[in-house]
Structure 1
Amino acid sequence: MDLPFIVATLTRRGLLTPGRPIRVASQLNALRKWGWSLAGELRQAAARDPGRVAVIDDQDTELTYQELLDRSMRLARAMRAGLGVQPGDRVAVLCRNHPGLIETIVAATLLGADAVLVNTGLSPAQLATVAQEQQLRVLVHDDEFTERALGLPADLPRVDERAREELIATALPGELHPPERDGRIIVLTSGTTGAPKGARRPTPNGFGPLVSIIDRIPLHARDRVLIAAPVFHTWGYAALQVCFALRTTIVLHRRFDPAATLDALVRHRCQALFAVPVMLQRLMEVPAPDPRPPLKVVAVSGSALPGGLPSAFMDTYGDVLYNLYGSTEASWASIATPEDLRQAPTTAGRPPHGTRLAIVDDTGDPVTGGRVGRILVGNEMLFEGYTSGADRERHDGLLDTGDLGRVNADGLLFVDGRADDMIVSGGENVFPSEVEHLLTQLPQVREAAVIGVPDPEFGQRLAAFLGLHPDETLDADAVREYVRHYLARFSVPRDVVFVRYLPRNATGKVLTRELRRYYG
């Protein structure tokens, strides 16, 4: 990435404003010694703005950047002395969004250990599989997950909330030096179709990744930001990285509640919100506060935006919505701005600066003219492979996302769904996501999921699962007729099932395996 672009972007976002020379020097020295890991980002923020509030929890308890760093360093020293954590070990973090989660991740990276971010929705059996496959050294968990961890090996040390506080309080003094190896962040894939896999996240090597994001999403230094997306998820963790780099004040709630979130946005005067799309749906189901929160950015990722949601949300909260399309493995591929979403509500936007995007066919040749093909992406933060040693398919430095999509004449990307979600019904290729987007346009429909199920005559057929708004009614024939009016006959779902809520994991993705249980 070219230097003039980096400097211009950092200037626009307030990161190159003058400061006290001794603090600026200390900030740059922290980055020089500790690099761009989460520990390095926290150190640079504490060096530049030690007294600034770093994080506010859902009890309104505040920690400054210096306090957060001090607690993280004490925890690191205690984990090394009391638990024997060494560079290269793996520390599992099974926590919801609160300061203790941040302290644990930072402590692990301070020691050169890998932090394994565990999805809070994993079952006891899945957690046991993760412990075995990731060869965990320590499990740090919230109290609510104590029972879930009972089936883990007896010799795996477990640190609950009280034990974590005791470690911090009793840590012996001593210096922490940059470890002999960088600690990695291991994010577990969502596991919507089976056991999650560990994906090794790279450590940024400069301003490039930050600049790619904040050039397109206008976050500023010292903003106040509520991170509602789970930090154990790639999007929530990316939000944390960006917030540390910008020295923002971060608001965290352990659980997402739409009314409490809106109250916190107003009360803490938040300019930005990081969320997953289903959270925006929940926010739209409760009355908007008066006055509105001073939001300038609402950034979402993690799953597709329902077609009618962007316009409805922006009609209520202003043109502040940004949608990042990416994955655990690819980080980001494209970003849709409010202008993009007003023009085409289902678009994934355009690649940000420094990102390469290609649409190819099964042989790897480019696809043009708005035709559907495989989406390949290249950027500075492609994952380093799975902890099992496996990798995703790559072509000329570009990662195969596993998604199918197309680019229109205006250069906007549209994602048609996972390659393995496309079904063949009676010899026709059908994309369930296209039908999903259409169904969410119905005023009665709150959420929709469409999947392929076995069919003895056509091979596969579509089944639609619909959650309706309260007090709304709809019948299956009306749904089929609506789809038939807009799409080809083979896109009409033969099965229409009404549900109260779609089954989702903690990051908001629909659990399609749960839906398939309707069919044995």
Structure 2
Amino acid sequence: MRLEFILSPLNHASGEEMFAWQVYAASPALKDKIALRDHSQGDVFSWAELALSIGQCAEGLTAQGLKPGQGLALCGKNSFDLLCHYLAGLQLGARVLGINPAFTPQKRQELCARNHISLCILFEPPLAEGVAAGQKKIEKKHRSFPLATEYIASDLPLSPYTLTLTSGSTGLPKAVVHDIAAHFANARGVCELTEFGSGNSWLLSLPLYHVSGQGIVWRWLYSGAELHLAAADFYASVARATHVSLVPTQLSRFLAYLAEKGKQNVNTRHILLGGSQIPLALTQELAHWGICSYSGYGMTEMASTVFAKKSDGSKGVGQALNQREYLLVGEELWLRGAGLAKGYWQQGTIVPLTNEQGWLQTKDKARWVKGELEILGRLDNMFISGGENIQPEEIEGIIQQFGGVKQVFVLPKNDPEYGQRPVALIAFETRFDMEQVNKLKLWLSDKIEKYKQPVAYFPLHSEKLQEGAIKISRQRLQAELIQLLGK
């Protein structure tokens, strides 16, 4: 049973909204079907049991004062508790914002204020309570932070929305607003491509604060399949699910796991790849294990995957999935169609993200080659490291606040595991030395997420690189970095 009919909440005869998990739980044929396996706890939930858990979370949120149209922020790593609160917030008609737990408390507070969040919940790592009958009992734990704002947008319908952060070159990341219909529309095309149906399982292998993690949830709900939550041995959990989403860093480690453990008891049949350029060597090695991989391209603003294909020997990402449209304007890729967001949340309203022609201008460079799209890079300076978007200007702005920094540029260097990692070329007011660098690294350690902290520092010779120009070009900086790295 696929939810072809549930592109938005349905109504009971009583007039109350009904969501996908409630539809399955109310079905005599499906209520006892397994909906979720939590490998971290060894728990299994039917659709009826899952809907009950979500309902209990919804009651808890209501008791804390959350109302339809208000903002709910969830900050933590993937867990059953976090997932239930995510769905419960939507069931209540709230705007649900996911926040990376690597963000500093100050950044978390600023994001909550900017996005009119009334209640923020911080999910902590589970704690062992003790041993009973030879097994550890794990306590799920979270802390709630009611905030001053009780903002409800008067000009918006009191419908559930997700807010997903996307990086920007300046300031805090923007929140992209999707309704449930957009998530389901995106899910449909991916399920068709990957042959994902009710008899399959998908591992929640990517964080819920990313659109890629949310995409997994909506494919599961669209198909009425099983969702798996990972155990401490992440790659053993990958091997248990029929379908998995991985970034190249994870794929490389999973291949190492297969090489060590062998293919015995491996259920994985389909792996959807994304997050950065996907090395052909990895997809070719995966094919040797009899696992079908898909090379994809997606955007937060489009609710996840837009282009995808079965991986082959070419660098392209295939063709647009069902109901997605694209244009190439010069070298820039424009998009619209299934999954397109309502807009960006800004000062209590939703600001459109499309241009006057109704297209999303992606700032990605692309070309059409031999019947498929090939992504060439960015028109701006953003790059991807281990599946995380990194905007150099954000890191540069923070480093500039450190006393004694004259000028700094952050650039990507290629990395076999993460795709790319940030590196800094820096000029201090005094001479460049490692004592200064080490002081900067210590100062930076709690100012920005770890994955954004440069992995190496090199002296910046501004006069040499500028040579009479108004400013130093990043192309020249990248060429200088290649020389410094010796390749």
User: What's 1:152 paired with?
Assistant: none
Calculate the TM-score normalised by the size of structure 2. 0.69
Calculate the TM-score normalised by the size of structure 1. 0.65
Q: Given the superposition, is the C-alpha separation of residues 63 and 379 from structure 1 closer, same or farther in structure 2, using an over 3 Å criterion?
A: same
Question: Deviations 1:34-58 (Å, cap 9, x if unpaired)?
Answer: 8xxx971211222332112222221
Give 1:184 deviation, angstroms: 0.5
User: What's 1:281 paired with?
Assistant: 252
Secondary structure of residue in 2 paired with 1:97: coil
Question: Deviations 1:149-205 (Å, cap 9, x if unpaired)?
Answer: xxxxxxxxxxx954689xxxxxxxxxxxxx972110111125697522211112217
- Structure-2 separation of matches of 1:400 and 1:232: 23
Give 1:64 deviation, angstroms: 1.7
* Maintained 8 Å contact 2:187/2:215: no
User: What's 2:275 paired with?
Assistant: 302
User: What's 2:84 paired with?
Assistant: 103
The yes-or-no answer on 1:312 pairing with 2:326 is: no
Secondary structure of residue in 1 paired with 2:11: helix
* Residue 49 (structure 2) aligned to one of 67, 70, 73: 67
* Maintained 8 Å contact 2:269/2:292: yes
Secondary structure of residue in 1 paired with 2:343: coil
Give 1:295 deviation, angstroms: 1.9
Q: Given the superposition, is the C-alpha separation of residues 296 and 53 from structure 1 closer, same or farther in structure 2, using an over 3 Å criterion?
A: same
* Residue 321 (structure 2) aligned to one of 349, 352, 355: 352
The yes-or-no answer on 1:234 pairing with 2:200 is: no
User: What's 1:342 paired with?
Assistant: 312
Q: Given the superposition, is the C-alpha separation of residues 306 and 63 from structure 1 closer, same or farther in structure 2, using an over 3 Å criterion?
A: same
The yes-or-no answer on 1:112 pairing with 2:96 is: no
The yes-or-no answer on 1:189 pairing with 2:163 is: no
User: What's 1:45 paired with?
Assistant: 24
Give 1:325 deviation, angstroms: 0.8
User: What's 1:323 paired with?
Assistant: 295
* Residue 383 (structure 1) aligned to one of 314, 322, 341: 341
Could you tell me the percent identity over the aligned residues?
18
User: What's 2:61 paired with?
Assistant: 79
Q: Given the superposition, is the C-alpha separation of residues 161 and 333 from structure 1 closer, same or farther in structure 2, using an over 3 Å criterion?
A: closer
Give 1:85 deviation, angstroms: 1.0
User: What's 1:505 paired with?
Assistant: none
- Structure-1 separation of matches of 2:105 and 2:364: 30
* Residue 33 (structure 1) aligned to one of 11, 18, 38: 11
Name whichever of 206-215 and 103-112 sits farther off: 206-215
* Maintained 8 Å contact 2:275/2:297: yes
* Maintained 8 Å contact 2:123/2:142: no
Name whichever of 394-403 and 191-200 sits farther off: 191-200
Give 1:29 deviation, angstroms: 13
User: What's 1:394 paired with?
Assistant: 355
Give 1:213 deviation, angstroms: 2.0
Secondary structure of residue in 2 paired with 1:142: strand
For residues 410-449 of structure 1, the aligned pairs below 5 Å read 410-421=370-381, 445-449=416-420
User: What's 1:55 paired with?
Assistant: 36
Q: Given the superposition, is the C-alpha separation of residues 229 and 298 from structure 1 closer, same or farther in structure 2, using an over 3 Å criterion?
A: same
The one-letter code matched in structure 1 to 2:200 is D
Q: Given the superposition, is the C-alpha separation of residues 360 and 292 from structure 1 closer, same or farther in structure 2, using an over 3 Å criterion?
A: farther
Q: Given the superposition, is the C-alpha separation of residues 333 and 84 from structure 1 closer, same or farther in structure 2, using an over 3 Å criterion?
A: closer
Give 1:139 deviation, angstroms: 1.2
* Maintained 8 Å contact 1:227/1:275: no
When the two structures are aligned, how many residues end up with a matched partner? 384
Secondary structure of residue in 2 paired with 1:143: strand
- Structure-2 separation of matches of 1:307 and 1:206: 29
Secondary structure of residue in 2 paired with 1:108: helix
- Structure-2 separation of matches of 1:491 and 1:221: 53
Name whichever of 189-198 and 111-120 sits farther off: 189-198
* Maintained 8 Å contact 1:226/1:251: yes
* Maintained 8 Å contact 1:90/1:115: yes
Q: Given the superposition, is the C-alpha separation of residues 439 and 386 from structure 1 closer, same or farther in structure 2, using an over 3 Å criterion?
A: closer
User: What's 1:291 paired with?
Assistant: 264
Secondary structure of residue in 2 paired with 1:73: helix
* Maintained 8 Å contact 2:55/2:88: yes
User: What's 2:180 paired with?
Assistant: 203
* Maintained 8 Å contact 1:94/1:139: yes
The one-letter code matched in structure 2 to 1:359 is L
* Maintained 8 Å contact 2:53/2:84: yes
Secondary structure of residue in 1 paired with 2:78: coil
- Structure-1 separation of matches of 2:304 and 2:141: 37
* Maintained 8 Å contact 1:262/1:289: no
Q: Given the superposition, is the C-alpha separation of residues 290 and 104 from structure 1 closer, same or farther in structure 2, using an over 3 Å criterion?
A: same
RMSD of Structure 2 on Structure 1 (CA): 3.8
Q: Given the superposition, is the C-alpha separation of residues 450 and 438 from structure 1 closer, same or farther in structure 2, using an over 3 Å criterion?
A: closer
The yes-or-no answer on 1:493 pairing with 2:482 is: yes
Question: Deviations 1:91-110 (Å, cap 9, x if unpaired)?
Answer: 11112111111210121112
- Structure-1 separation of matches of 2:302 and 2:254: 28
- Structure-2 separation of matches of 1:302 and 1:351: 17
